Amino acid sequence: MKFALCSSSLDMSNLCFEGLRCNTASLPLNKPFLGFGFLAKNENVQESYCNSKRMVISSHLLPGHLEGSFMGKKRLEEPSRKLEFVRTLLIDNYDSYTYNIYQELSVVNGVPPVVVKNDEWTWEEVCHYLYEEKAFDNIVISPGPGSPTCAVDIGICLRLLLECRDIPILGICLGHQALGYAHGAQIVHASEPVHGRMSEIEHNGCRLFNNIPSGKKSGFKVVRYHSLVIDAESLPKELVPIAWTTSTGTHSFLESQNSDLIPDACESQIRPGISFDTFSPGLNNGTSWSFSHSNEVQRRKILMGIMHSTRPHYGLQFHPESIATCHGRKIFENFREITLDYWQRLRSTFLNERHVFYTACMQLHGASQLFGVPRAGPLECNEDALPFRENTRRRQLLGNVDEKNFFSMSSLSSFPESSIGAKHLKLKWRKFDQLASQLGGARNIFCELFGANKAENTFWLDSSSVEKKRARFSFMGGKGGQLWKQITFRLSDQSDMAFKDGGYLSVEYAQGTTRSMYLEKGFLDFLNQELLSFRYDEKDFEGLPFDFYGGYIGYIGYNLKVECGMLSNRYKSKTPDACFFFADNFIVIDHRYDVYIMSIQEGNTANTPWLDDVEQKLLHLEASAAKKLGKQPSQPAKFSPCKAGFLAEKLKEQYINDVHKCLEYIKDGESYELCLTTQIRKRVGDIDSLGLYLHLREKNPAPYAAWLNFSNENLCICCSSPERFLRLNRNGVLEAKPIKGTMARGATQEEDEQLKLQLQCSEKDQAENLMIVDLLRNDLGRVCEPGSVHVPCLMDVESYATVHTMVSTIRGKKRSNVNAVDCIRAAFPGGSMTGAPKLRSMELLDSLENCSRGIYSGSIGFFSYNQTFDLNIVIRTIVMHEGEASIGAGGAIVALSNPEDEYDEMILKTNAPAKAVVEFQ
């Protein structure tokens, strides 16, 4: 990557900062991917075309090209009243941590910010809402991939920093670098990329750090996600350094947790705020700041914060919104106070009377997400404007992803009529106490009731690993009653990387009839319409300890990322992109040993033939001995998938070369973490698929395992996943449990404990996990109540049959105005399979991987008719399709990755499923 060189420099005799200069001097105008729309439309625009994507570079975005107009003068001249809450315009640079900032600001400001992509508004629209509508009191610029020197990466942010000199602005990471670059500082590579790692911070006591400790062992440690830095030697006079690392070293999260802090050190080292934040034109970093530190401490410090000497503009290189950053919320609180005080100092009264519509909306709970901002004309409080706001509700709700990927309630009539046509579902169920163990467990029950005829058209969401309360319930069934059906969806063909909306849905009904239709708005919209069509009585499932009462069971393939914000898929999947049964009759195994039989019917009826029949079968099984199905072969001492006949999509050399490419992308700031994957394949012919699955679950039990057999598609899925993607329970609580960090089990107990400890203490694996935890917090933050997203378990190590894994848990309370499919759109695909930032990382991965992931990296689980759901991440899985077994595997590439080790980890993850195939053949 190339960066612009600027001539301005700063004599910083009292501080020495790290800055690795670049050798190139040209601005990058032609990134080979990503064109998220256009920048401001004006006469000073240069256009460049690369790979059929239009790039726009505005002369206003280059340092020194804009004098600034101080356009907000009239804001200060008009009488006003003091406001009671702060309204923030949050500029999203297509990052995966923006909604962590959103959550923090919602709590701190008393009202949620309005989130706008960096290329969503023209400059004229920005001016309209800032200076005519007076809709916002401050601006926060989010982190993001890339560099502020690239117009596609930074969008309108540079112009905001240059022209909005009278509005408080806080830039984070990329926003911080943009503040420096906008005023002439040079953006350079850091000596090493630092992502998901922590540093101690020292600051100068300015108001942004008011009541926050400073220095070594003070307790002020922050999380960093960056490969680029501002070269401190190029910092112009008008920019003041306000924070820096105490040393060049970094810390892992657990190391930081276990560090020896001096008692009361945090309180004793708090520095009071100083008066330089009055933004006097005479203030500059050459004369107004002085530091007295030893030469040893000064050496090679890294600039972590800057402020403008005459404007209320701040920048932070670190991420205050990260779960592991100390005093992060306090920084946002301080910025709120700076905003309030700034307006008070500049005029006798505070702000002009607010626009009536904004006042009404912003005082509503979650209002900024309920109402979209029109792209033309002022916000008028009249009835004619309401339909537009309703149409944009979903788009605003989930972060302003392109409207084509969302639907509003007003568009439901355009969908095909619900294929079930049910107006009211009635649930009937029976419970059998302590019956599961008497019948030989879930395995025996499934084989006896559903294992005949090769278990065609059957499902089993199988909690085969229940120790340590990892899972409790299993759901199983087959082709059932009158409401049973199978739906199969395939995305439209794509060419030249151009996304085409929608795809083809086929429906097979219980009566044997089929129906095909084209879904212009895609599968998730169809699924949402189906779930919204159901009516039910909550009393029907009172007393049940689980959340699935009937509905859809199946999978969502990785390529459905195009319905969740991605623009395209490079490769078409060989398997359907989504496939589900509508389960109306099924069995639930409570692994505390109870058995439930469940049946849903349309309308009220006294007939329960399926329940009666299954009850008799269970009672007949009660006295029979548990049977075992499948072979019990011996295991070879050593195993190699390639030597066992599996063919790899990429040879070792190719995979390692791709890891090196990932490391280059990370070095250049394009991603913080990339989950690179590949697949291995083997012809298996007419194998006993159920026997294979039973063998896999015995050798590699997992809490989110699954068996799916879609006979008409010649498709069987044998999944032994240890990872939950996302769950929504009946209380509206969302939960994600990402896995990042994997280590093989040891041959002896002593070796096993050492390897477990090695994983727990690995700075690399902690960094991987922390990055995905912050990403999942962001995804949940898009649909959860402000302040409700939390992390009850961070970086726990869980042990399975073949590996140790590092697992975290993220939870949040779903907002009442969003539904189940909204939650999926906000978070799919699971961040542990993409990396961060998610959109940019998926684009990079599409350019590196040479086949579709298909079902691998997608999700298997259920959508209950009452809008609860539970989905896994499809890993450690054998997909058998048309006589071929395929297994996907990969790993997260981070700055600390070793290419050889990454290849070994990928192979390790294929071992359990590949060995099951070889042993069972």
Q: What is the largest CA-CA distance in the chain?
A: 91
Most confident option among 46-50, 405-409, 676-680: 676-680
Could you check whether 88-253+299-347 and 423-620 share the same CATH topology? no
In this prediction, residue 253 has a pLDDT band, given cuts at 50, 70 and 90, of: low
Q: Which residue has the tokens 């030249």?
A: 496
Q: Report whether pLDDT(62) > 70.
A: no
Residue 1 confidence (pLDDT) above 90: no
Q: Which residue has the higher pLDDT, 111 or 83?
A: 111
Query: What's residue 374's pLDDT?
Result: 31
pLDDT band at 351 (very low <50, low <70, confident <90, very high): very low
CA 161 remoteness from chain centre: 28
Q: Confidence band (pLDDT; 50, 70, 90) for 392?
A: very low
Phi and psi at residue 223, to the nearest 5°: -95, 135
Residue 206 pLDDT > 60: yes
Q: If you average pLDDT over every residue of the chain, what do you get?
A: 80
For residue 422, pLDDT over 60 is answered with: no
Mean pLDDT of 24-30: 35
Distance CA 551, CA 582 (A): 5
Backbone angle region of 173, left / alpha / beta, with phi > 0 → left and psi within -120 to 50 → alpha = left
Say whether pLDDT at 300 is over 90. no
Per-residue confidence (pLDDT) for residue 343, from 0 to 100: 86
Least confident of 169-173, 251-255, 473-477, 532-536: 251-255
| DSSP annotation string for 465-532 | --GGGS--EEEEE-S-STT-EEEEEEEPP-BTTB----EEEEEEETTS-EEEEEETT-HHHHHHHHHH
If you average pLDDT over residues 544-573, what whole number do you get?
Answer: 96
Nearest to 319 by CA among 672, 668, 19, 34: 672
Quick one: pLDDT at residue 640? 73
- The pLDDT tens digits for 732-758 are 999 999 998 888 899 899 999 999 999
pLDDT for 71 beyond 70? no
So what's the pLDDT on residue 247? 80
Are 885 and 878 in contact by the 8 Å Cβ rule? The answer is yes
pLDDT for 256: 58
| pLDDT more than 90, % of the chain | 64
Q: How confident is the model at residue 362 (pLDDT cuts 50, 70, 90)?
A: very low
Residue 284 has pLDDT above 90, yes or no: no
On the question of a cis peptide bond just before residue 63, with omega within 30 degrees of 0, the verdict is: no
Output the CA–CA distances (angstroms, integers) from residue 753 to 475, 534, 741, 742, 804, in the order listed.
34, 50, 16, 14, 10
What is the arithmetic mean of pLDDT over 46-74?
A: 35
Confirm if 12 and 290 have CB atoms less than 8 A apart. Answer: no
What average pLDDT score do residues 386-395 get?
34
pLDDT at residue 467 in the model: 63
pLDDT band for 412, please (50, 70, 90 cuts): very low
Look up residue 877 and give its two tokens.
Answer: 């899985």
Q: Which of 698, 672, 687 is nearest to 893 (CA)?
A: 672
Q: Which carries the bigger pLDDT value, residue 633 or residue 682?
A: 682
User: What is the pTM assigned to this prediction?
Assistant: 0.83
**DSSP strand pairing (425-432 vs 551-556):** unpaired
Question: Mean pLDDT throughout 275-282?
Answer: 46
pLDDT for residue 507: 97
**Residue 49 confidence class, pLDDT cut points 50, 70, 90:** very low
The model's confidence at residue 83, banded by pLDDT at 50, 70 and 90, is low
pLDDT band for 254, please (50, 70, 90 cuts): low
CATH assignment of 423-620?
Answer: 3.60.120.10
Mean pLDDT of 630-649: 66
How does pLDDT run across 437-477, given as a tens digit for each residue?
Answer: 888 889 999 999 999 999 999 999 998 776 666 788 999 99
Tell me the pLDDT band of 150, cut-offs 50, 70 and 90: very high
pLDDT of residue 562: 96
pLDDT tens by residue, 864-899 = 999 999 999 999 999 999 999 999 999 999 999 999
pLDDT single digits (tens) 836-852: 999 999 999 999 999 99
Q: 88-253+299-347, which class in CATH? A: alpha beta
Q: Model confidence over 603-637: pLDDT tens digits?
A: 777 788 999 999 999 988 864 544 444 444 444 44
Which of the residues are catalytic?
173, 319, 321
Instruction: List the helix and strand counts (H, then E) for the chain.
Output: 24, 35
- pLDDT category of residue 682 using cuts at 50, 70 and 90: very high
Domain extent listing, the chain: 88-253+299-347, 423-620
Counting residues of the chain whose pLDDT is more than 70, the rounded percentage is 74
Higher pLDDT, 77 or 506: 506
Specify the pLDDT at position 638.
Answer: 61
| pLDDT-based confidence at residue 43 (cuts at 50, 70, 90) | very low
The reported pLDDT for the residue numbered 622 is: 64
Residues 47-70, mean pLDDT to the nearest whole number? 33
Residue 37 — pLDDT band, cuts 50, 70, 90? Answer: very low
Q: Residue type for 843, please?
A: E
Enumerate residues 6+ apart whose C-beta is below 8 A from 250.
194, 197, 198, 199, 224, 763
Q: What is the reported pLDDT for 801? A: 80
Which whole number is the average pLDDT over 217-233?
A: 95
